[in-house]
Amino acid sequence: MKPLVKSLFVTLVAACLLAGCAGTPVKIAGVQDRAQVDLTKGRQISASASGFQLLLLIPIAINGRHEAAYRDLLAQAGDSVIADVKITESWKYAFVGTIYTTTMEATAYPKIVAPAK
C-alpha cells in the first residue's frame, strides 16, 4: 500500500506544478468590418510585458504577461482598431533565474467617423 500512496503523492505534486505554469489565454480581436476602418492611416504600436522565473522553479508574473501586453496595446490604440498583431517571445538568463518577455506589435487603424447630418 505504501508504494501506491507514494506514487499518488508524486503525481499530485507534479499536477500542481504543471497547473501553476498555465498562462491566461488572450483573445485578440480583429477588424470586423473593413469599411468602417481607414486602412490608409495605420500606425505601428507595440507593447511588452515580462515575468521572472526564480531559480527556474518559482514563477513571478509569468502567467499574466500576455494579457498585460495586450491590455497595454489596446490602451495605446485608443479608439483605433488593431490588426496585423505579431507576438514575439524572448528570454534571457538572469543571475538567479530567467526573464521571459512577451512583445506584441500591431497596426492601429482609425475608425471612419460618419459625417454629421
For the segment 29-57, what is each residue's pLDDT rounded down to a tens digit? 776 777 777 888 889 999 999 999 998 88
**Per-residue confidence band for 24, with pLDDT thresholds at 50, 70 and 90:** confident
Let me know how long the chain is.
117
Asked if residue 114 belongs to a domain, the reply is no
Asked if residue 36 belongs to a domain, the reply is yes
- pLDDT given for residue 61 in this prediction: 84
Asked if residue 85 belongs to a domain, the reply is yes
Query: What is the SS3 assignment for 49?
Result: strand
Computed over every residue of the chain, the mean pLDDT equals 84
Per DSSP (E only), the strands in 4-113 are: 43-54, 58-60, 81-94, 97-109
d(C-alpha 43, C-alpha 37), whole Å: 13
Asked if residue 66 belongs to a domain, the reply is yes
Asked if residue 9 belongs to a domain, the reply is no
Asked if residue 91 belongs to a domain, the reply is yes
Asked if residue 7 belongs to a domain, the reply is no
**Amino acid sitting at position 2:** K
Asked if residue 10 belongs to a domain, the reply is no
Number of independent structural domains in the chain: 1
The boundaries of the domain holding residue 71 are: 26-109
Q: What is the pTM of this model?
A: 0.74
d(C-alpha 57, C-alpha 79), whole Å: 40
pLDDT above 90: residue 104: yes
